[in-house]
Structure 1
C-alpha cells in the first residue's frame, strides 16, 4: 500500500521562540509583564531562587549551622588542649633535647673547624657528656648507699633510746603509744606501707632512668641532624626574606649555644672550687658534694643557693665548725660568681638586662618548673634580639 504523502504546510510553521527575559530556573515575580523592549528587573527573592518570589533564609546563616560549627570548634580546641596536656612530658623532653643539641653544637663545630668530621666530633662531645653522668653516678651512689645502710643499722639504737626516755614512758602509760605501734607492725600495716613506698620509689627511679636515656638519644639525633633541620626550616620562609631570617636564626642559635656553654663553664668552676675547699677541710664525700654544687648551679637564680645549703647541712652533721666554714665560703663565692665570673662568661652569649633575666626565669619556672627556668633566659635573649633587629628598625621607618 503506498505510503501517505507527507506535505508540509508553510502557513502553519511556528514562529521562532524569543529569549525569555527571566534567568533559567526562576519564576518571575508577580506584577505587570514587561514589554519586549523593557529592561528586566528581578523581583525580590529571585537571587535566592525562591519558587514563588518570597525570599528564603540563606542556609549559611542558619542558627543550627552556626551553633554546630561553634560546637565543633570548641570540641576540637578541647581535644587539642587535652592532647597537649597528656603529651606534656614528651614535649618537655623534645624541647630540652633540642635545647641541649643547640647548646652542644658550638663544641661540635669547634672540632669541625679543626678538620674533624662531624660524626667524630659529635661522638667526642657526646662521649664527654655521658662520661660526666657516669662520674656523677659513681660519686653519688656509694655515699647515699653507705648512709642508708648506716641509718638502718642505727635504727635499733634509736628505738632503745626512745624506750629509755622517761617522757616517752609517761606518754606510753597514758596513751599506749608503743602498744599501738606494735599492733600496727604485727598487723601487717607497716609491711604494706613499706612495700607500697618501695614500689612507688622503684617506679620513680625507673621513670627517671627511662627519661634520661630518652633525653640522651633525642639529643644525639638532634645534634646529628641539626644542619638539616635548620635548612628545612629556613626553606619555609619566603625567598625574599630567607637570607635575613637565616642571619637572625644563626645569631639566635649561637646565643643559645653560648649560654649553654657559659652556664656549663660556670658550673664546672663552682664544682672544682667547692671540691678543692672541701678536700682541704677534709669534709667527707667532697667529690659527691662538689658534683651536687655543679649540677644545682645550672639552675638560674636559686640553684647556687640550693647547693650551698645542702653542702653546709651535710658538713654541719659532721662538725659545727665545718658547717659554719662552708656557709661562709659559699656566701663569699656566690658574690664572686655573681659579680665577676658570670658577667665575664656571659657577656658574649646573652644580651639581656638583669631585670629581664629575673622575670624570664620566674615565668619559666612557674610554667615548666626547673626546665622552664633553664630555657627562659635564652628565649628572652632571642625575643630581645628580634625586637632589636626587626621591630625597632621597622617602627623607625614609619
Structure 2
C-alpha cells in the first residue's frame, strides 16, 4: 500500500514537471511572438516608475490649502512635457535640421581643403590621408542615403510612441494595483524584502535619469554657446550632439569632440584648438564638480556598466533599447546587490 502511494506521488511529480516544462515553453513562445508588445509595455512601465517621483512631488504642492490629486499631477506633468517638446520643435529643431542639411552639402566640397591641410602636417603621408578621404566621402554619401531611406521607418514608429505614451499614463494612474498584485505572489518575508529592494531601485533609477539629464543639458548648452562664440560652423547641431552623446561615458564625448574639432578644422586650426581646449576644461569641471554634485554617490553606476548596458540595449532593441538600457542596468544592479552580493557576504561571514 505504501509503495503504491509512493508510485502515485512519483507519477504526479513527473506529470507536474512535464506540464511545467510545457507551460514554460508555451510562455516563452508566446513572449517571443508578443515581443514588440512586451517591449512597449516594459518601456512604458519603466518610464512610469522614473516619472512617478515627479508626480509625487507635484502632489505635495499646496495652493491655498489645496493639493493636486494624482490625475491632476499627471496632467500637469504631461502638460509640462508637451510644452518642453513644443519649445524644442519650434526653437531648437529647425536650426539643427538646417545645420544637418548644410553639413551634408558642404562636407564633400570642404574635404579636399581639409586634406590639403592634413598633408602639410609632418608624417601625414604615413597615415594614408588619400585613402582616408575616399572613405570619408563614401561614409558621407552612405549616411545621406541612410537618412533618406530610414525616414519612412521612423515615421512608422510614431504609432508606437503614442501607444507607449498612453500606456505610461495608465501605469502612473493604476500601476500600484499591478505592483501590489505582483508582490502578493510572494510570501510575507520575501515580499517585504522584494518591496524594499524595488523601492531602492526606483529611487536609484530616478536619480540617475534626472542627474544624467542635467549633465547632458549642461554640456549641450555650454558647448553650443562656446561653439557659437568661436564661430564654429553648425554650432547648434554640434551642441545638441555633444549633449545627447554625453549619455555614453568617455566614448560619447570622444566621438563628439572629434567631430566638432574636425568641423572646426575645416575653417582654421585656431578654431580646432579652441574646441579642444574647451572640452579639456569642461571635462575637468564635470568630473571634479558637476558629477559629484549632481549624481552623488547614491547613484553608483560605473562608466563600464553604463557602456555595456547601452551596447546591449541598442543591439537588442535599437534606439528604444538604448533609451531604457541604463535604468534597467540600475534595476539589475540593485537586485544583484540585494540577492547575490549580500547573500555571498553572509555565507562568507557564516563560514568564518
Same fold (TM over 0.5): yes
Aligned to 1:225: 174
Relative to structure 1, the CA distance from residue 382 to residue 274 in structure 2 (aligned partners, 3 Å threshold; closer, same or farther) is same
C-alpha change, 1:257 and 1:310, in structure 2 (3 Å) is same
Deviation at 1:86, TM superposition (A): 4.7
| In the alignment, structure 1 residue 253 sits paired with structure 2 residue 253 | no
Structure 1 residue 390 displacement after superposition = 5.3
Aligned equivalent of 1:133: 85
Q: Distance in 1 between matches of 2:233 and 2:56?
A: 40
Superposition pairs of residues 41-80 of structure 1, within 5 angstroms: 77=25
CA gap 1:154/1:253 in 2 versus in 1, 3 angstroms: closer
Matched, 1:96 2:43: yes
CA distance in 2: counterparts of 1:344 and 1:227, whole angstroms: 32
CA drift at 1:206? 0.9
Using the TM superposition, give the Cα deviation of residue 307 of structure 1 relative to its aligned residue in structure 2, in angstroms.
Answer: 3.4
The residue correspondences of 1:145-294 to structure 2 (distance < 5 A) are 145=98, 148=101, 200-294=149-243
**What residue number does 1:108 align with?**
55
How far the C-alpha of 1:378 sits from its partner, in A, is 0.7
In structure 2, what is the Cα distance between the partners aligned to 1:134 and 1:316?
A: 34
Question: Could you list the per-position Cα deviations for residues 270-320 of structure 1 after superposition, in whole angstroms to 9, with x for gaps in the alignment?
Answer: 122223212322445544433332222234453333433443344444554
Deviation, 1:150, is 9.2
3-state SS of the aligned residue for 1:237?
coil
Asked whether the 8 Å contact 1:262–1:346 carries over to 2, the reply is: yes
Q: Which residue of 2 aligns with 1:386?
A: 338
Q: 2:272 aligns with which of 302, 323, 331?
A: 323
* Secondary structure of the structure 2 residue equivalent to 1:336: helix
Larger Rg: 1
- Give the direction of change, closer, same or farther, for the CA distance of 1:151–1:106 in structure 2 (3 Å limit): closer
- TM-fit CA distance, 1:247: 2.3
- The whole-number CA distance in structure 2 between the counterparts of 1:214 and 1:222 is 12
Q: Is the 8 A contact 1:364 1:372 kept in 2?
A: yes
Aligned to 1:4: none
- Among 278, 281, 306, the alignment partner of 1:332 is 281
Identify if the C-alpha distance between structure 1 residues 307 and 111 changes in structure 2 by more than 3 Å, giving closer, same or farther: farther
Kindly tell me: are residues 80 and 267 of structure 1, through their superposed partners in 2, closer, same or farther at Cα, counting changes over 3 Å?
same
Task: Tell me the residue number matched to 1:122.
Answer: 74
Contact 1:360-1:380 within 8 A present in 2 as well? no
Residues 119 and 151 of structure 1: CA distance in aligned 2, closer, same or farther (over 3 Å): same
- Looking at structure 2, the residues matched to 290 and 385 of structure 1 have their Cα atoms a distance apart, in angstroms, of 37
TM-score, normalization by structure 2: 0.66
Q: Is residue 352–residue 380 contact of structure 1 (8 Å, CA) maintained in 2?
A: no
What's the CA shift for 1:352?
A: 4.5
Instruction: Render the CA deviation track for 1:312-339: whole Å, top value 9, x for unaligned.
Output: 3444445543333223322332343244
Aligned length: 297
The answer (yes or no) to whether the contact 2:232–2:263 under 8 Å persists in 1 is no
Contact 1:271/1:293 (CA < 8 Å) preserved in 2? yes
Take 1:361 and 1:252, find their aligned partners in 2: how far apart are those partners?
Answer: 18
The alignment's C-alpha RMSD in Å is 4.3
Matched, 1:144 2:93: no
Which structure's relative contact order is higher, taking Cα pairs within 8 Å and 6+ residues apart? 2
- More helix by proportion, 1 or 2? 2
- Unaligned runs of 5+ residues in structure 1 are 1-46, 48-57, 159-195
What is the rounded CA distance, in whole Å, between the counterparts of 2:233 and 2:194 in structure 1?
53
Q: Distance in 1 between matches of 2:182 and 2:55?
A: 21
Secondary structure of the corresponding residue to residue 180 of structure 2: helix
Structure 1 residues 340 and 236: alpha-carbon distance in aligned structure 2, compared to 1, 3 A threshold: same
Segments of structure 2 that go 5 or more residues without pairing to the other structure are 111-144
